[in-house]
Structure 1
């Protein structure tokens, strides 16, 4: 048969349903272990390449290849020009192929540490991880990192592909040495199966065909193993869950709730609830673009029409009335940190889970994982590519299931609130329940009534700037003028609170975040009391200033940037702190060896180098009058 005939036969297999369904797997491991080459070999042997693709592959192999006169199969996957030029994988590449027994979706993921986030993306939907090891190099740190991430992402089956055996003399002893070292580390992670296979992806040995010169190996080839692997644990058998993507309201006669069924099944007549509110209804219709369904299963995108109208919006989860998800504003989760700027407990991020988004903070970092030993280590922060167990606190309750039960209901991402970059990926392990005797107690006297009796509107005047900028001086004058005008005020000052409330905190980034978190909560209480509170704090990070802003109602937070250049602050040095910082006597000093993030759009900006403090205070008060906070 010609190649075209073989390819036509292979394509016909893609249109048929394999006997064991679809299996999703990814290749991972360290740099140059042969991940892309392995997938390229599978595609080639599956006869799913066009003639022109083969011609381009042969041409590119001569230009970019690393296999001499042979075809470099890795180039089939490395589609970016940067990948071909550097001989590395950067982005996740997905490919499809099929045999008579099964269909496959395979993800080729990067081996470089800086692209760990891409590897985690590929792992998040995979059933099996094919972890490659270069037989010459053995088990490396990135091998262990990818193994841990695979387990963390819910993958239950591992193929340990000891590759490049042709460069290790096809040695049985070398293969078993590597397997023993790997199992010593990986067995404790609790995978359902770990299957070691010696292979040479370049030549196809034990990939799709048995290697005659490795006759000491009696196990299956990679393809045989993947064809027969049992990945049962069907999501159809789990409880019904559907995060609502949008409310479908094309006209006055139709209202439905659209989303992807992530687990379970749903039929007309089924009793459902909105997970957050507990509001109940029955399903009247299951609607799709191709007509109504008798049953919708996991993976189906549908619109549910209910027997009566209830309050549902994007971000809600429609669930089985008999098997409901957890709903909580606090939970424990494993977090993979993916940003160059470290994770700091107490900092506010956006948490996206399903179709819901809510502000959230890492309330505690319980430990991080030593990727070399998988041991738990105490830590106050997570750096890029580190993994830790965290407690997460959201500003409102979210519906979830533990990740190991239903992936789509237990997976979330953390997003930086200013850059909108994804900075972390998390897997919920269990909910954290508050003590049952703690409730929000409704008070008869409201904030509005307290403020009314004082004849004023409450607000936080937040003075930020470098040490020596003049924050406390201007804030002090502002409070004096407000008091003289008969208004009710209080002052929170950076130095003063560290003598009492925050005397246990230092000046690391973690402590600075916690310092502002506490001050923000105290300032919120003063606003609730109907007061105007001045807060004078360097508060170097935009995230924490934004966090305080969101604690109070719109218009109640006035950011005053005392904009004084660093060189002027150093010249003033009223407390001698810059001199000590320059002498190395003070560490983590803002503006010197710790960053200051200036406000981008403050309500008030004053320059104490061009006007006296008294005039700067008048400028602040004028702004308050303009905004209607003063009579």
Structure 2
């Protein structure tokens, strides 16, 4: 993982754009001629005139926005027959969050609607009403057709009711105006924080769960980050705010994020280059979200780590052992708690200092407020991971017995600790063996539909791909398996 530090500096905005140099961002669904329209405008203006960039998908759109220098004009393309759809709303919403206050609306396909004025007027009215709710101060709508050249470069003879400019003329007129969108931000210094509130557009097929760690890229810097809270989900078409515990593909939400290192930034509406970021899945480098920073959260600026005279090393020396976490993972009924208990008994008999954290026991206290949804499972393991780290700081050999179904959260706990302090032990018993045992009657309830979100039945379990130790729990007894764990500790020099 690459971490960088930085000194905050000003977010320098370019001088007002000169005629012929303003970027125009063309946005719209790919199947309604967005690319074709942009190419016709490019051909018409030639060199030295406004540059046109197509952003058919939000990540590309935001990347163009942050790289464009002067704040661009946004040209939104909609189809007269299809009407105003969610994508059109989403582009307008993102534009407003980036401080855009003027929009161009190109209504294509007018020939399929018999050049009717009422169709155009209705679409213009619909989007203007939506734009006003977003704080868009000016919306210029132009009817046109890609079948010929109606109102793109030359005025159309089939739109006698329309007396406004062609699309090219309006774009060129816009290029002669200073951007004027963010004058107060011209010399604003960047903020620095390890927490901020942001608008997050989720792009992955797998849901976002608060607490899960991702990799955040902001400008040229990269740190680990997690969504600490979903404040609300925003329904794009109605702008209604709704509660949510997870995000699904194409969801747009207002969230709090926590970073493992403070970064300099600006609000996205002031400086897109230092206010827009991307989130990536940490192992496969897959883009999962793009975001726009709203403001920093100054919640921990007065907190400092206190240097203690008695540290982990001295506690470990006093206990004559190397502290570590033995993380037992596997399906319900695999025998995790039984094996962990046998291991702890042997360690205690050898005079070692231990602590056993068990999934059921922890849910009676620390995590009694959590259920068994996927998002609650993520938070459950996050909390237990932090407690395990404290136990290791106390110099203890810590045994943690949890289903912990997701690789991401097990990896997160490993990364909380120093190298060699986390030992992942896969208590491997096939589902049919665990279900046959069913010591608590949970599988029976799950099969009957009385226990939703049960791991292995209707909630996934991701087995370790390279555990420190695999225990064949479907083949050997608990005492034999416990002996294998003790042997592992000896080989690793923990005892």
TM-score, normalising length from structure 2?
Answer: 0.91
Counterpart check, 1:379 vs 2:241: no
Aligned to 2:257: 392
Aligned partner of residue 326 in structure 2, secondary structure? strand
Give the number of equivalent residue pairs. Answer: 474
Aligned to 2:12: none
Matches within 5 A, 1:185-224: 185-224=130-169
Matches within 5 A, 1:175-190: 175-190=120-135
Matches within 5 A, 1:110-129: 110=56, 116-125=58-67, 127-129=72-74
Aligned to 1:405: 270
Counterpart check, 1:148 vs 2:93: yes
Counterpart check, 1:104 vs 2:104: no
Q: 2:235 aligns with which of 367, 370, 394?
A: 370
Q: 2:476 aligns with which of 607, 611, 614?
A: 611
Aligned to 1:298: none
Aligned to 2:11: none
Matches within 5 A, 1:15-414: 20-30=19-29, 32-45=31-44, 97-98=46-47, 102-107=49-54, 109-110=55-56, 116-125=58-67, 127-229=72-174, 230-232=177-179, 324-414=189-279
Question: For 1:19-62, what per-residue CA distance to the aligned partner results, in whole angstroms no more than 9, with x for missing partners?
Answer: 5142222332346333123124334545xxxxxxxxxxxxxxxx
Question: For 1:449-483, what per-residue CA distance to the aligned partner results, in whole angstroms no more than 9, with x for missing partners?
Answer: 11111111111111001111111111111111111
Q: Displacement, 1:118?
A: 4.3
Q: Are the equivalent residues in 2 in contact too, given 1:416–1:422 (CA < 8 A)?
A: yes
CA distance, structure 2, for counterparts of residue 225 and residue 445 of structure 1: 71
Aligned partner of residue 131 in structure 1, secondary structure? strand
Question: For 1:473-520, what per-residue CA distance to the aligned partner results, in whole angstroms no more than 9, with x for missing partners?
Answer: 111111111111111000000011111111111000111011011111
Q: Are the equivalent residues in 2 in contact too, given 1:560–1:605 (CA < 8 A)?
A: yes
Aligned to 1:61: none
CA distance, structure 1, for counterparts of residue 330 and residue 87 of structure 2: 42
Aligned to 1:59: none
Question: For 1:74-96, what per-residue CA distance to the aligned partner results, in whole angstroms no more than 9, with x for missing partners?
Answer: xxxxxxxxxxxxxxxxxxxxxxx
CA distance, structure 1, for counterparts of residue 455 and residue 278 of structure 2: 30
CA distance, structure 2, for counterparts of residue 237 and residue 364 of structure 1: 30
Aligned partner of residue 98 in structure 1, secondary structure? coil
Classify 1:433/1:584 alpha carbon distance in 2 versus 1 (closer, same or farther; 3 Å).
Answer: same
Which deviates more, 120-129 or 583-592?
A: 120-129
Aligned to 2:8: none
Classify 1:19/1:506 alpha carbon distance in 2 versus 1 (closer, same or farther; 3 Å).
Answer: closer
Name structure 2 gaps, 5 residues minimum. Answer: 1-16
Q: Are the equivalent residues in 2 in contact too, given 1:123–1:129 (CA < 8 A)?
A: no
Counterpart check, 1:551 vs 2:394: no
Q: Displacement, 1:213?
A: 2.3
Q: Displacement, 1:202?
A: 2.3
CA distance, structure 2, for counterparts of residue 172 and residue 128 of structure 1: 26
CA distance, structure 1, for counterparts of residue 75 and residue 203 of structure 2: 22
Q: Are the equivalent residues in 2 in contact too, given 1:120–1:153 (CA < 8 A)?
A: no
Classify 1:526/1:608 alpha carbon distance in 2 versus 1 (closer, same or farther; 3 Å).
Answer: same
CA distance, structure 2, for counterparts of residue 375 and residue 411 of structure 1: 23
Question: For 1:513-535, what per-residue CA distance to the aligned partner results, in whole angstroms no more than 9, with x for missing partners?
Answer: 11011111111111111111100
Structure index of larger Rg:
1
Aligned to 1:73: none
Higher relative contact order (Cα pairs below 8 Å, separated by 6+ residues): 2
CA distance, structure 2, for counterparts of residue 587 and residue 124 of structure 1: 44
Q: CA RMSD in A?
A: 2.2
Aligned to 2:380: 515
